[in-house]
Chain A
Amino acid sequence: MKLLLATLLLFVAIESSAQVRLPPQRRMKRDSLIEHGLPRLDPRQVAVRSFLGQIEHGIITSSLTSSSAHFASQVLVNISGGESGYFSSNQVLSVLQNYFSGRKPVVFHFSRFNDQGSAPYATGRLTFVNKGSQESAQIYVSLEHRDSRWVISQFNIY
């Protein structure tokens, strides 16, 4: 009985430390942003575009908010008519989930992006269904390089 109890305690303790586990590294994948026939890109540009592709895919499939690994430790979020301010990577997941919970994405792709400089960004128009009617909003995403990977540092919806 005591061993069972100790095992239970161990289980609880391990679960309680789950929050501080490092997020799993996702494999980067090539995506539609890397167009064929264009001049050769440097590895940095490739990485940026690849990550932007992941974001694009994540927004359409509503999987962007499945992990805080996509976001910087502090993210500036600006939602027109909604939240505005700096949020932690954990909090931004719920903020965006809350936004997308009533808005089912239909179409989205980054129409403009800038993969140069230390803070590349991309913007695109999202079409979604809200309460039965189709609406749209513009999404702006800015990236920064942290701990050898790209993360989202700003996420605006206007």
Chain B
Amino acid sequence: MQPIDRPEPTLGRVTPMENINQRKQDAPNIAPLGEVSAEKMERLFGQKTPDAPPKLDPAPSRAKYKMQRLWLRPMVRGAVRTGVPVMTVFAIGLYMLTNDGIREQFTQTLEEARSSIQARPEFQIELMKINGATEALDQQVRAALGLQFPLNSFELELPKVKDKIEQIEAVKTASLFLRSGGLLEVDIDQRMPVVLWRTGRELDMLDANGERTGVLTSRLDRLDLPLIAGEAAEEHIGEALELYALAKPIQDRLRGLRRMGMRRWDMILDRGQTIQLPEKNAHDALNRVLALHAAQKILARDVVTIDMRDATRPILRLTDVATEIIRASAETE
């Protein structure tokens, strides 16, 4: 008996598989017909295999027909085209608003995006430059603002900073600019003191308009500025300055001007001398005193007060010693 699982003898024949493989090796660009797909056949021979018989009855179904007729209603169409999207957006918005988790997440992402933008180096302020201010005022402004650089420009509220700078008395106006490169530029229009005003123990520095620009404790700090005193003296600084200018010949003796009774000036000289000037025509009166001084050295004499309030004649008050001397000489005569 022969075993039945004996392989079939090949007898030198080539199996179809071997044949195909052999052909592939010989000509790799030509595929045997059995391996060409249906699509490729269509492409190669320009013929399509019919996939389904054509529909004989193209009638729409009853539901489809009714849907189409419904869709042709202008109201339905409008409702679907605008109403449904609007309602959907509205519903989604409402859901997101009422859901706390989503809302928090939303605000958080918003905050993160915001801070990530703010943290960019373009928005950092590195230093502050102050233009048009003296060294002292510069220090004062920096101290008043107390800014710690580097600083984020979003945290800096320029109107508030401007207000803060302008609250300093010596600053008339300030303008702030954020320059590129992280520079905060402050242009200051400084008030320049022209006169010192003694109020009690302190000395106020005033500018030409009578605005305070600062406080001094000692007269010696600003010897270049004229000194005035008296109530409401700051309202007549222009007049005081003119009188000061007029009194140039006796400048070395001049101590200051005192406003008397809120209406007229007394000019105070050293040695306790006072020139009482009238309310009106104070210039003329001072000119006359200066003329008297130039002619007769009146201020070098023993005079305490030269009262020029009466325009017709100056009235002098002598010192007690001079009075005694005059009285004694009169008795001796």
A and B co-occur in one complex: no
| Chain B positions near chain A (C-beta within 8 angstroms) | none
Q: A residues near B, CB below 8 A?
A: none
